Amino acid sequence: MATTSVGSIDFPQRKAARLRFQDRRRLFLIALAVPAVVYVVLIALWPLAQGIWYSFFDYNLLRGGGRRTFVGLANYAELWTDSTARRALINTFVFTFAAVALEFVFGLCLALLLWREGRFNRICLAFLLIPVTITPVVVGLIFRALLAVDYGFFGYYLAEWGISGPRGFLASTSSALPVVILIDVWEWTPLVALILLAGLKSLPGDILEAASADGATALQRFRLVVLPLLLPTVFLALVLRVMDAFRVFDIIFVTTGGGPGDATNSLMVYGVKQGLQFFNIGFASAIGNVAILCIAVLCAAFTLLIRRADVRANET
C-alpha cells in the first residue's frame, strides 16, 4: 500500500530518496519501540531470568543462612510428587477452564441482552461495571461473609433450607471449589460481556440486515453470521481471562485460604505461601515458571483454535 502513494513513475534519484525515506522510517519505528522493549527487558526479564536460575536450586532464605544447593529439576519434580502441589496444579486447571467457560457463556448472553441500543441498557451497563472495579480482595471477603453459615445473609438460609450442607458451601470439600469459581464468575462476567458487547456493536450493520432479509432464524443468524465475525473479540476476552484466571490468588486467599483441606488450593496461593511466607525461593520459582508455561500453552492453543475456526468460517 505504502508504495503506491508516492507516484507511478520512478526516476532513479527518486528511488534512492524513497529508499532513504524507508530507512528513516524504519529507524523512526525502532526508536518508538525501543524504550518499551528495553524497559521490559530490564525490569521484567532480569528478575524472570533469576527466577529460572533459582528454580534449579534448593534455596531457602530463612534457613541455612540462605545457602544455595544445586538440585537440578527436583523442584519441578516436586510439583507432581508432592500431593499438595499436585492438587494445586489440578485445581488451577479446573478453576481456569470452568471459570472462563462460564464467564464466556454468561458474558455472551449478557452482551446479547445489552446489544439493543437504548437508555435503559446503557444504565444497566454502567451498573454492571461496578463489580469489575471492586478490589478482588473485597469481593472475596463480601462473599465469605454472605456465605457464612451462622450469620451470612445467604449462607444461613441456604443451610436452613437444606440447600447447602449444614456447614455451608465453603466448608465442604466437594462444593468449595465450585463456589469459589462462581465468585470469580460473578466478578468477571461483566467484563467479558463488555468486551463482547464492544465486538457486537462494531459488527457491520448491512451484513446483519442481509441475513435477516434472507429469512434466517435468530439462532442461524447468530451461529452463521454473528459468531464468525465476533471471533477476534472472543479471542481477546478468552485470552485476557485465561491469563488472569490461571493466576487466581486474591479471591481464594480471602475466602478459603485454599481450604478446606487442599480443596481450593491454587498454584498461586501455594506459590505465594512458599515464596513470600516461607521464602522457599527455589520451589516458589519453579511454581512461577510452570504457571508461565501453562498460560503460554493455553493461549497458544486458543490462538490455533480461533484461527482454525476463522478459516472454516471464511470457507463457508
Partner 1 sequence: MKARTRQIAIERTTLVVILALYMIPVLWLVSTAYKPPREIFSSPPSFTFSPTLFNFERIFQLFDVWQLLKSSIVMSLGTTVLSLLLGVPAGYALARSKSRYAIVVAYFFLAIRTVPIIATLIPFYLMMRDIGLLGTWWAVILINTTLNCAFVTWMMFSYFRALPRDMEEAALTDGCTLWGAFYRVALPTVVPGIIASALFCIMFSWNDFLTPMFLTNSDTKPLSVALLASFGTKDITWGTLGALAHFSTVPIVLMALFLNRYFVQGLTKGVH
Partner 2 sequence: MSTASLLKLGVAGLVYVSIAGAALAADKPLAGITLNLASQNDQFAPVIAKLAPKFEEETGATVKVDILDYGSLLTKTQADFIGHTKNYDLVTMDIVWAGQYADNKYTVDLTDWIKRDADEMKLDDIYPSTIKYIGQYDGKQVAFPFAGYAAVLAYRKDLLDAAGLKVPETAEEFVETAIKLTDPDKKQYGFVANGQKGPAVAQDWLQYNAQLGGSVLDASGKPAINSEANVNSLKVYKELFDKAAPPGAVDYDWGGREESFRQGLVAMMETWSVGAPGYYDPSMSKIVDSVAITTTPVAKGLPVKYGLGGWGMGINADIDPAQQEAAWKFIKWLTSPEIQKEFNMEGAGSYIRKSTLADPDLNKKFPYLPVIAKSFENADGDYRPRIPQYPEIQDLLGTAVNAVLVGGVEPKAALDEVQEKAVKLF
Quote the CA–CA distance of 148 and 194 in Å, as a whole number: 31
Q: How far is the CB of 101 from partner 1 (least distance, A)?
A: 19
Q: How many residues bind partner 1 (CB under 8 A)?
A: 96
Q: Which three three-digit cell numbers place residue 237?
A: 476476552
Q: Is 309 in the site for partner 1 (CB under 8 A)?
A: no
Question: Would you give the distance in Å from CA 291 to the centre of its chain?
Answer: 12
Query: Which region among 10-18, 76-84, 95-103, 233-241 touches partner 1 (by CB under 8 A)?
Result: 233-241
Residue of 97, 117, 128 whose CA lies nearest to 193: 128
Q: How far is the CB of 260 from partner 2 (least distance, A)?
A: 4
Q: Is 35 in the site for partner 1 (CB under 8 A)?
A: yes
In terms of CB distance, is 106 or 278 closer to partner 2?
A: 278
Mark residues 50-79: x for contact with partner 1 by CB under 8 A, - for none.
Answer: xx--x-------------------------
Q: How far is the CB of 231 from partner 1 (least distance, A)?
A: 10
Tell me the one-letter amino acid at 35: P
Backbone φ and ψ of 59, nearest 5°: -140, 105
Q: Is 304 in the site for partner 1 (CB under 8 A)?
A: no
Q: Is 116 in the site for partner 1 (CB under 8 A)?
A: yes
Q: Is 258 in the site for partner 1 (CB under 8 A)?
A: no
SS (H, E, C) 221-242: HHHHHHHHHHHHHHHHHHHHHH
Orientation of helix 83-114 relative to helix 176-201, angle to 10°:
40
In terms of CB distance, is 37 or 276 closer to partner 2?
A: 276
Q: How far is the CB of 302 from partner 2 (least distance, A)?
A: 33
How many residues are recorded in the chain? 316
**Bond from prior residue into 232 cis (ω within 30 degrees of 0):** no
Q: Is 136 in the site for partner 1 (CB under 8 A)?
A: yes
In terms of CB distance, is 189 or 266 closer to partner 2?
A: 266
Question: Would you give the distance in Å from CA 298 to the centre of its chain?
Answer: 10
Q: How far is the CB of 172 from partner 2 (least distance, A)?
A: 7
**By the criterion CB under 8 A, which residues form the site for partner 2?**
61-63, 66, 83-84, 148-151, 155, 159, 166-168, 170-173, 256-262, 273, 276-279
Q: How far is the CB of 246 from partner 1 (least distance, A)?
A: 8
Under 8 Å between Cβ of 281 and 61: yes
Under 8 Å between Cβ of 181 and 170: no
